[in-house]
Amino acid sequence: MSQPQVLVLRAPGANCDAETGYAFERAGARVQFVHVNQLLESPRLLKDAQILGLPGGFSYGDDIAAGRILANQIRHHLFDAMAEFKAAGKLLLGICNGFQVLIKSGLLLADVHGEAPATLTGNASGKFEDRWVQLKVTSDRSAFLQGISSLYLPVAHAEGRFVVRDEATLTRLWDNGQVALCYTSPSNLNSASVGYPENPNGSQANIAGITDETGRVLGLMPHPERYIDRTHHPRWTRGEGTSPGDGFAIFQNAVRYFA
């Protein structure tokens, strides 16, 4: 198996970069951590990588809105380089704050008539949500989710509510197979409609993750890097959990993609 190079993008306030890099390393990749200022100075750093990871955290303190400042840096200074990266058949993964950045930069869902078709905004509960959630994979399009039907992962965010500009956008995302993950009920994985706390943020249609049209860009609010070992499970001492943890398969799929 070839060993892909992963570039994990760091920014002020990011706090899940080490865990994300470790998960990719455990899956068999080589990892390089690059600060956004380095990338702004040398966008060519992207050329040597096959996978770009945007980790969770609170980039730039989530000033203005979660992920907005880093997203604007990408939109106005790095968009062409990242669009070229994507067009070259490479993979992009945005986790939590990384998902917010991908959405608000236009890298995940292209603008329509100069406006973003969707965004991630404040949780319907009006508070920070830190809990474990049950997820179901709702599309086979994403390269990161191949062979996965469900996931049990933690969330930790204040602005994770996925909303679309209009119903036509939501219909298009479903029809294109771009709705990749949905919150569901632990007791009924086929449940099509759940409320709080199963849907921790009030996302429309219970959406927890979206992929682009190619399936090579994935953004999700839950944290797969926080459950790659059975001991990460909140009840592992009671015999629960899997080995490896549910989230590890996402990183394995990314590495296998370049086998």
Parallel/antiparallel/unpaired status of strands 91-95 and 30-35: unpaired
Beta bridge pairs of residue 133: 153
CA atoms within 13 A on the CB side of 207: 26
Catalytic residue among 157, 159, 182, 223: 223
Catalytic residue among 182, 225, 232, 233: 225
Is 41 a known active-site residue?
no
Catalytic residue among 96, 157, 182, 232: 96
CA atoms within 13 A on the CB side of 13: 15
Burial class (CB within 10 angstroms; exposed 0-12, middle 13-18, buried 19+) of 239: exposed
Give φ, ψ of 152 to 5 degrees: -120, 110
Q: Rounded to 5, what percent of the chain is helix, strand, coil? A: 35, 25, 40
Where in 100-143 does DSSP place strands (E)? 118-121, 129-137
Place of tokens 């100069």: 114
Place of tokens 């965004």: 119
Alpha-helix residue ranges (DSSP H) falling in the chain: 17-26, 36-41, 68-73, 79-87, 97-105, 167-175, 248-256
Is 19 a known active-site residue?
no
Is 77 a known active-site residue?
no
Beta bridge pairs of residue 12: none
Burial class (CB within 10 angstroms; exposed 0-12, middle 13-18, buried 19+) of 191: middle
Catalytic residues: 96, 223, 225
